[in-house]
Every structure is written in structure tokens, then in C-alpha cells.
Amino acid sequence: MRSVKTKQQEHFETDLLEVIEDTDLKELVVFNDDFNTFDHVIRTLIRVCKHTPEQAEQCTWLIHHKGKCAVRSGAEAELKPMCEAIREAGIDARIL
């Protein structure tokens, strides 16, 4: 007996493959330090990560109080230039 796939089964398999590909997402994490000002970090997140001022401020408070904050998630290739730009601004950032 031969099995025939329905359109619904094919759609499900396609969706499942897309979910599996999304698991390769990384996080761009910024770490707290005793050197950079709130304003500098906020301006950098707005410029580099395209955050709104509110997003950048919230991330900066999390960095200050928790020691770090994932400021962006995505593919490593997308995050790498952002990480380098943040580091060039004198802020500790890593892709995890």
C-alpha cells in the first residue's frame, strides 16, 4: 500500500523545517562595566541595533542592574557586524 501526502501534511513539514532552522539563532549580549555612561550605551544601541530610545534605555538599565542584557537576537552573520561596532564604541559585547 502506498502512502500519499496531502497538502496539509506538506505544509506542516515545511513549517517544521522553518522552525528547525530558527533554532540557530544567537544572542548579542552587552555586559556592564564601570567606564561607559548610560547615555553612551543608549546612543550606541540606537545607532548600531536600531533600537528605539525606549528600548535602548530599558536594555541599558538591565545591563546596569543584571550585569548583562541580550540586546538583539538573530543569525550570527547578522549579529557579528553589530557586535564589532558596539565593541569599537568601547562597550563589552559578545555573541552567545
- The pTM (predicted TM-score) of the whole model is 0.76
Q: Decide if 12 is inside a domain.
A: no
d(CA 31, CA 76): 18
**pLDDT score, position 89:** 98
Is 8 a domain residue?
no
Per-residue pLDDT of the chain (96 residues; tens, 9 = 90+): 555 656 666 655 656 555 555 568 999 999 999 999 999 999 999 999 999 999 999 999 999 999 999 999 999 999 999 999 999 999 999 999
Say what the pLDDT of residue 68 is: 98
Q: What is the pLDDT of residue 1?
A: 52
Say what the pLDDT of residue 61 is. 98
Within-domain flag for 20: no
Q: Is residue 1 part of a domain?
A: no
Q: Look at residue 44 and tell me if it is in a domain.
A: yes
3-state secondary structure the chain: CCCCCCHHHHHHHHHHHHHHHHCCCEEEEEECCCCCCHHHHHHHHHHHHCCCHHHHHHHHHHHHHHCEEEEEEECHHHHHHHHHHHHHCCCCEEEC
Q: Which residue range is the domain that position 70 belongs to? A: 25-95
As for how many domains the chain has, the answer is 1
CATH number for the domain harbouring residue 44: 3.30.1390.10
